[in-house]
Amino acid sequence: MVGFTTCIDISTIPTNNEGFYATNNQFQKRGPKGFIQVKVLENDKLYVRVDLPGVPDDAVHHRVDSVRQKVVFFSAVTFNDGYEKEGVREYSGTAGLGCDCCEITGVDAKMKDGVLRMILSRVKVKDHDRKCTHTVPPFTGKSGGRVEEHPFVVKGRKRAFVGEPTADGGLFFAVDVPGVGDGDVEVLANESEIKFTAEVKNVFEHDESGRLYLGSVDTSWSGSSAASLLSHNITGAVNFGVLKVLITPRRPNNTTTNE
């Protein structure tokens, strides 16, 4: 049977002159942007959201800088399913205070569906006549014509998409959809294209809204040598904020009936 050699993410071309809705993920169409977001809450605590797609809920580590008590260091490693040639992804980064008047006194962290969320408690250690709003990093994401690489990946895949042929003549591809849980995704296929929709339905209390991801993957670029998707088994699931789709050839039915 003719198998697949690769696939093309046709979502990498912006659909309008303004570019991508979110430069951290070409599939994102709605919701909070950026790989990381830090904002001041009404109770003067800090809310930190960090996208770490592929990381299990119990596989993230964090600690406060013991010297200056200004930032939180975080690190994590993704689950290895054996399909991606680059193997696991390793993350490492920091977030926290960008001032000299406060110190971090506590961290309440939760990892869920490929997103690390932390509530940082702080206290003033120097006189300051205004409410302190200085945070690190000081941005919440942006739109544009170029997709950016994940700044906290220190090993492995840095982009939101990967597609690779499998040894049995099939195809595997993965798409980062941080925040999306299993069961909140729909995968549809025709002869040469797979379309998917993934939506964050359970919005975290400090997120402005849920995220929506839409995309498609084309397998017809190689012309007549490409196999029809409809002659294959297609399975898809979301694991730790990553949509993984496996396309495998159907085994011929060799059973015969004796009359």
pLDDT for residue 219 is more than 90? no
Rounded to the nearest 5°, which phi and psi values hold at 224?
-65, -15
**What is the distance of C-alpha 19 from the center of its chain?**
19
**Domains of the chain, start order:** 8-15+146-249 (2.60.40.790), 32-136 (2.60.40.790)
Using one digit for the tens of pLDDT, what is the confidence trace for 73-110?
999 999 888 888 888 999 999 999 999 899 999 999 99
CA nearest to 115, candidates 23, 19, 31: 31
Give the whole-angstrom CA distance, residue 55 versus residue 78. Answer: 4
**pLDDT band (50, 70, 90) for residue 126:** confident
Q: What is the pLDDT of residue 120?
A: 97
Percent of the chain scoring above 90 in pLDDT:
59
pLDDT for residue 127 is more than 80? no
The answer to whether residues 114 and 51 touch, using CB atoms and an 8 Å cutoff, is: yes
Rounded to the nearest 5°, which phi and psi values hold at 29?
-120, -10
Count the residues in the chain: 259
Name the token pair of 219: 């397998």
pLDDT for residue 224 is more than 50? no
Place of tokens 């992804």: 89
Q: 233: helix, coil or strand?
A: strand
**pLDDT band (50, 70, 90) for residue 229:** confident
pLDDT for residue 253 is more than 70? no
**What is the distance of C-alpha 256 from the center of its chain?**
47
